[in-house]
Amino acid sequence: MKLRYFAAVAVAALSLAACGTIPAAGPQPTLGAPASPATVQPGLGGATVLDERLRIDAIAAYNTVAGAYVSADSRGLLPAAVKARVRPVLLNAFVALTAAEDAYRLGNAATFEAQAKEAMSLATQARKLIPK
């Protein structure tokens, strides 16, 4: 039965990969020109639609993997060895997400984009550590 659970995680990975992210080409996300918190309006004021989408992509990537982890762990289905490998990566992913949120609110475009992508990268890493 654990196999069914891990198959579900595999589908999660497939689904997220299919969702895609902001294309590399074309307009890049920006929270408004200068990246200085002192000169940019906080929050939505300086953000673009592309920023909002990158934010959503990053958080959804984390939530999908973290949700699978919590569903399994809360029922005692996660082997200790898997938990020991995945948990620190998820904790780091949330640290990156929080840093991205802070940068988003301050209008710091460079930090926002870097931290959002770092969170997505760590979420992907965590997903790969869960056996299929």
Partner 1 sequence: MDFKSIIGQLSTAVGGIQGLVNVATAVGGPAVASAVAAVQAATEVYNHVRENVEVVKQAHASNDQAELKKIGDDLFAEAAKLNEYIASHP
Give the interface segment with partner 1, choosing from 24-32, 33-41, 73-81, 107-115 (CB under 8 A): 73-81
Residues 6+ apart with CB under 8 A from 49: none
Longest alpha-carbon distance in the chain: 55
CA 66, 69, 71, 74 torsion: positive or negative? Answer: negative
Give the interface segment with partner 1, choosing from 28-36, 65-73, 107-115 (CB under 8 A): 65-73
Residue 2 vs 39, nearer CB to partner 1: 2
Q: What gap in Å lies between CA 69 and CA 53, rounded to an integer? A: 24
Question: What single DSSP character describes residue 46?
Answer: G
Q: Does 18 sit near partner 1 (CB under 8 A)?
A: yes
Q: Does 67 sit near partner 1 (CB under 8 A)?
A: yes
Q: Does 85 sit near partner 1 (CB under 8 A)?
A: no
Q: What gap in Å lies between CA 77 and CA 14, rounded to an integer? A: 22
**Binding-site ranges for partner 1 (CB under 8 A):** 1-2, 4-5, 7-9, 11-12, 14-16, 18-20, 43-44, 47-49, 52-53, 55-57, 59-60, 62-64, 66-77, 87, 90-91, 94, 97, 101
